[in-house]
Structure 1
């Protein structure tokens, strides 16, 4: 660790409880420790953060007894905010440390300065304030659409009261929302997509535009199953998150990317080592244009591009109305034989 990192970690340790209240808000204090599920702010009791220095070590050190992971409060900021490089982590730590010491939520402590609206920084802040989807309305919403994703899909979170502004009337309200991180190939959050939900999680909220994106999207995507920096020889890409999450539901080991729009799909950056790209087809003209442009770019990069076509409107319709077994069989006829054996469940 560099000297500047050591100094930042020490100063964060001096305010360990305040740091935990800000970045590990799903936990609580117990004696000399902050107790939480993990470094990504999941509810639970596995991770312990030392709040005051003692004979066992300095304040701010933590260990996850279940996973064996350990680190300091810079690691907490990096994971809870989805930051990939040290400069961003250090900038976020310095922003926090420039504030007066935060007090408990009931005592009216000051908050961090607002990030620029629509910026990647605003996206990272919102993602950091959200929680894992397990047991939330977001999980219920996805299940209602037939989408089942593994618990380790960390690009998805839930916010119980996400700000929404009607662009016509100017009226505002806070509604539950599914938060999907848009990242680059290295896993760095550059933007996100918000899907506002009905109060019971059964469908989207009754809004004119219940889904909006913010941040830097071009070249990036909502990635499911991407190991940042690793080679990805085979992948699938498409416009919509629910389309790609449906493919991921029946092919849980295949990395997939949802680009959020046809234009962004056309400009998607390819991961390292990509040799074969499956593109989820879209019936509208903009979708076809995006697929054609992406296919041409893939060809120039030496990547074989193959289309995957649904039977109904999109792959989420196929999953919901035809069922996962039918969708699996339908995809088996479109994948290369070696990919069908690798990614589709046997039988």
Structure 2
């Protein structure tokens, strides 16, 4: 049996309706077609998948009348699961078909198909971000609201994927789960990476996984930016490791540009925007991120930037926001800000 991509697509076509029920679950059968909103499994009727071969036309082929996209069932698996590596697509197809996984030397050929982005590359990050949707009205928005994080709809760094692919790094088992997608960008606003936070489908916080949050792409020097226009100078800003920490500060200071570097090492290497005069670095109550804070403070000082460390009242600033409330958090921060900045960014009183 051939291990080529075309052979996998043909085998999937033999079970087209079962594939659609698994990966396009928001659709329904209508005659010889499966109707759904799009290849990412949105609700609607603009995309139709042929379920049985007719007049020489193969089963499993699909077209989206709205966008003009078309393809086969491998594309359905790739897009609906949010996969960014072709090996993952074929692995998932083989899992569905209950076929044995090949060794590395006999991986399926990608001849005749568009090359997939390299695993973990900036292009892979951009593709997954493009596959996702705005968070308004989604489980991602509900998750953030449950953490006390209510952001302006103008924040374009955040997206939602209803069925993002997750692989257990120990067992190799795979599943698809909803995920909050946060874009990591450079100072020009170009996506270089992203962070995925897998969510519990029931809406009860993060998914019950060993590592429900993972990043990919080029992260060093870049960040999840909130409240900054690409390429624009920034006089005053805040930076820290975690996205939820920085988003919590953004809730009480909506005019302040903030950057989440995703880790202590990446915080240490954060590239600061031109024109920056004061940098507030968010710390956690523990000392895990001390290296990143000290290194970034040193680099800022060498560049003539005043660096000041913000310390939470509880474990981190999201704890402060959730348990003490935005007014208490703003009051707690007021004594840690330069008076000029406190008057500019913090609410009166």
Query: Could you say whether these structures have the same fold, taking a TM-score greater than 0.5 normalized by the shorter chain as the test?
Result: yes
CA RMSD of aligned residues (A): 2.9
Unaligned runs of 5+ in 2: 1-37, 47-65, 78-111
Partner of 1:157, secondary structure, is strand
Residues 205-261 of structure 1, C-alpha deviations (whole Å, 9 max, x = no match): 000000000000000001001111111000000000000000001101100000000
- Corresponding residue for residue 99 of structure 2: none
Q: Distance in 2 between matches of 1:252 and 1:28?
A: 39
- Corresponding residue for residue 232 of structure 2: 230
Q: CA deviation at 1:28?
A: 8.0
Aligned length: 262
Residues 24-68 of structure 1, C-alpha deviations (whole Å, 9 max, x = no match): x89987xxxxxxxxxxxxxxxxxxxxx9xxxxxxxx9xxxxxxxx
Q: CA deviation at 1:104?
A: 9.3
- What are the within-5 Å matches in structure 2 for residues 255-294 of structure 1? 255-294=257-296
* Maintained 8 Å contact 1:166/1:172: yes
* Residue among 67, 70, 75 paired with 1:102: 70
Q: 1:132 to 1:342 in 2, by over 3 A?
A: same
* Maintained 8 Å contact 1:102/1:111: no
Q: 1:118 to 1:331 in 2, by over 3 A?
A: same
- Corresponding residue for residue 32 of structure 2: none
Q: CA deviation at 1:106?
A: 12
| TM-score scaled by length of structure 2 | 0.70
Q: CA deviation at 1:328?
A: 0.7
- What are the within-5 Å matches in structure 2 for residues 1-347 of structure 1? 102=70, 112-347=114-349
Q: 1:28 to 1:336 in 2, by over 3 A?
A: farther
Q: CA deviation at 1:111?
A: 7.2
- Corresponding residue for residue 35 of structure 1: none
| TM-score scaled by length of structure 1 | 0.70
Unaligned runs of 5+ in 1: 1-20, 30-50, 52-59, 61-72, 74-100
Partner of 1:131, secondary structure, is coil
Which region of structure 1 is more displaced relative to structure 2, 249-258 or 195-204? 195-204
Q: Distance in 2 between matches of 1:189 and 1:305?
A: 26
Q: CA deviation at 1:286?
A: 3.5
Q: CA deviation at 1:281?
A: 1.1
Q: Which has the larger radius of gyration?
A: 2
